[in-house]
A = this chain, B = another copy of it.
Amino acid sequence: MADDKKTIIVFSGDLDRAMAALIIARGAAAMGNEVTLFFTFWGLNLLRKPAPASVKKPLLDALFGWMMPRGAGRAKLSKLHMGGLGTAMMQHVMKTKHVPSLPEMLQEAKEFGVKFIACTMSMDVMGIKAEELIDGLEYAGVATYLGHADDANLNLFI
């Protein structure tokens, strides 16, 4: 039923915005909804493996890859990052308050059955290869996103 589906485009790779996306996704999945996260642009960085993958790339692709954070564990706050201090403070506060970390939230969302789709067009533009991304993803483009969105009763862009 339409009422049971939600989609979120995870465009941002910022810690705070990614947390918002995952808290909604996890909450909706826990309430029995079918949730699809569509990771695109900076959001793809959340899906990168922490260790560098040994893939051959053109120079500019390699440069972009080198400048962008590898994985959810390295996501930064969009505000008050302050050279890392603010982000570290936030992560510390989350820990003391027993809020799961971003990598833990990603893992939990998966266990709740949230579907993760990596946007293939963004991967192409940003020079990110499937080998660099975590397991358990689907790969698709805008037509697939629109198909999911048409069936959903909540569609957010974060």
Contacts and interface: CB of A to CB of B under 8 A. Distances in A.
A137 interface: no
A143 interface: yes
Contacts of A67: 80, 86
Interface residues of A, number: 49
Nearest to A78: B42
Contacts of A63: 89
Interface of A: 3, 9, 11, 16-17, 19-20, 23-24, 27-28, 31, 33, 40-42, 60-61, 63-64, 67-68, 79-80, 86, 89-90, 92-94, 97, 99, 121, 124-125, 127, 141-143, 145-146, 149-150, 153-158
